[in-house]
Amino acid sequence: MHAQDKSGFSNPILAGFYPDPSICKVGSDYYLVNSTFAYFPGLPVFRSRDLVNWKLIGHVLDRPEQLNLDGQGVSRGLFAPAIRYNKGTFYVTCTLVDIGGNFVVTSKTPEGPWSNPIWLPQINGIDPSLFFDDDGKAYVLYNSIPPDDKPLYSGHRSIRMYEFDAESLKVIGLERILVNGGTDISKKPVWIEGPHIFKKNGFYYLICAEGGTADQHSEVVFRSANVWGPYVPYDGNPILTQRYLSPERDNPITSTGHADFVQTETGEWWTVFLGCRPYSLLDGEYYNTGRETFLAPVRWKAGWPIINPDHDEVQYHYPFPIQSLTPTDRLYGGNLKVRDDFERESLNPNWMFLRTPHEKWYDLKTKPGVLSMKLRPETCSGHMNPSFLGQRQQHLSGSASARLDFTPTSENEKAGLLIFQNETHFYFLCKSETGNEQVIQLYKSSDSKSSDNQLELIASQHIRNERSKSALHLKIEAHRDVYSFSYAFSPTEWVPLKDGVDARYLSTKVAGGFVGAIYAMYATSLGASTTAVAYFDWFEYVGDDEVYR
């Protein structure tokens, strides 16, 4: 089946680094948010009418006054938002780790503008989520420390809750523990987190992730007749996991969990959740696309919700949740081709900055149809905001390419394309200068945290003098576990610079953290002062995974 046809849709619905999905429904519209960690703007807001075709309508934290990510590691920053709606107001709760802790922001419209963060200092934990009861009361629940801060084992956590004043945006009364440890503390369950409460037929249902975000990840459910509990775990838990499946399965989906539920107009229940797509599982769980957003049906059985009820494996294809809508082109799922010719006066909202930009180092107006990027001393190895504009690697197989016009005048000046996972795991394909000659270079990052600007040169090619003023085309291709790097002076005459470069170096298993790989236009002077500018005429991303053909 193709990525999308009349019989159904394809997973993931948001491909690439879109983890920790949370969803709510307002009228006929669905809204979804994801974690963004140290990328800016923070927390994308998507809208859909059919749960499949999503449009990016804004970001929750898009002003530097709301979100300052200076000094934050790539996998720190914003963890696990939750979006809710009540009486004309949208609420997003989230955790800004290492800086301010837990907060809530509000807006009358999902597009924004959203308020500045209102901090919730009483909440000691992560993953806050609001629940609005039908009696007018509201609550905020979250992952927290074990009772008396005395863990019985590694990964011992609890789910706790306060009543919440939705007008003053403050917690009320005393904190109470809803879940200690997880579904069965005698089995030492780990990392109970990502909690949400909803109500159905007089019962309060508490869903949580359990098992950690790697291949043991799962989703579990509890219920109670009272919002404060006691919450009884379902004896068929977990209601979602892939940890028991054979590693020999084709096109595996792993690490499923961190779910949120929604009900359609016609009464059907669906869930969004995160999952991962390794190259295979026969030689280890390696993937570069990060944790992605999937969609699956939920069926109720004897008063309990069951995710993906007809299958053990999460499916790449399901029937449409809402049949009446005509499918449209998808920008975030299935195979796709996306090109930016920089013809607008503002950046496409899909572009991401690495941390918060405090100055305007890029320009779309001086040369219409061209993105100008100043070379600056900041580097992607550091912990500030470099001249970096990125888009997610959304496919195991695909490519990113760009046309660059740049004349370096020193060996420190470099501009080109980056495939980036974190400060110590990336490859940089660039134009630079060495020995008074212009050169195309491919660098591998140093994995030493103490070496900010150290790069390992793994391939280079001198540019003939007659070509030195010509625009340069650069391309990075992903082929599951390897990358290929090439260049051209004509868009149809690509020349390989280096093939078979280890992609596992940028996988979550090797690089660590909670993010996925990012293709980026990047320009740096490696700590030196310069007035140099790099010009990009266009950027193109192509995704081509076999499972969607």
The residues that are catalytic are 20, 193
Coil, strand or helix: which one is 508? helix
Contact 391/351 with Cβ under 8 angstroms? yes
Name the nearest CA neighbour of 418 among 454, 438, 390: 390
C-alpha–C-alpha distance, residues 39 and 382, integer Å:
14
Query: And the tokens for 258?
Result: 């961190």
What are phi and psi for residue 546, nearest 5 degrees?
A: -60, -35
- For residues 219 and 212, the answer to whether their CB atoms sit within 8 Å is no
Beta bridge partners of 219: 209, 240
3-state SS, one letter per residue, for 391-408: EECCCCEEEEEEEEECCC
Other Cβ atoms within 10 Å of 165 Cβ, number: 14
DSSP single-letter state for residue 122:
T
Distance CA 360, CA 116 (A): 22
Joined tokens for residue 305:
């919700």
Rounded to whole angstroms, the Cα distance separating 472 from 466 reads 13
- Rounded to 10 degrees, what is the CA torsion of 170, 100, 97, 138? 10
Instruction: Go through the chain and tell me how many residues it has.
Output: 549
Collapsed DSSP state (helix, strand, coil) of residue 237: coil
For 406-474, the DSSP string reads ----STT-EEEEEEEEETTEEEEEEEEEETTEEEEEEEEE---TT-SS-EEEEEEEEPPGGGTTS-EEE
Cis peptide before 357 (omega within 30 of 0): no
